[in-house]
Amino acid sequence: MKLFNAVAHFAKDEDGAVTVDWVVLTAALVGLGIAVLSTVATGVDNVNDDLTASFTSGQTFSSQGDTVTSTTIGD
């Protein structure tokens, strides 16, 4: 009977529930941050590539979606 009472008491105990909630919320925030970072990183790479090409070639580049257009400076 003592074992049954100990198991019943353990099942009713909620001391760790708040900790589990915080761990789940923190994991969700970290996952959201990684998703945002990966989305923003692609756009930053595109801008970086456009600026590098513009500085090295004397041309301006514009990337809108999947297409890239260029204009030569000084013509």
Q: What is the pLDDT of residues 11-69, one digit of tens each?
A: 777 777 778 889 999 999 999 999 999 888 877 887 888 778 777 766 666 666 666 66
Looking at residue 70, its amino acid is S
Residue 44's pLDDT is: 82
pTM exceeding the 0.85 threshold for the entire prediction: no
**Beta-sheet pairing, 67-72 with 59-64:** antiparallel
- In degrees and rounded to multiples of 5, residue 50 shows phi and psi of -65, -45
Residue 17's pLDDT is: 76
Token duo for residue 60: 């301006």
CB burial string 20-40: b at 16+ within 10 A, e below: eeeeeeeeeeeeeeeeeeeee
Residue 40's pLDDT is: 87
Residue with tokens 């100990």: 6
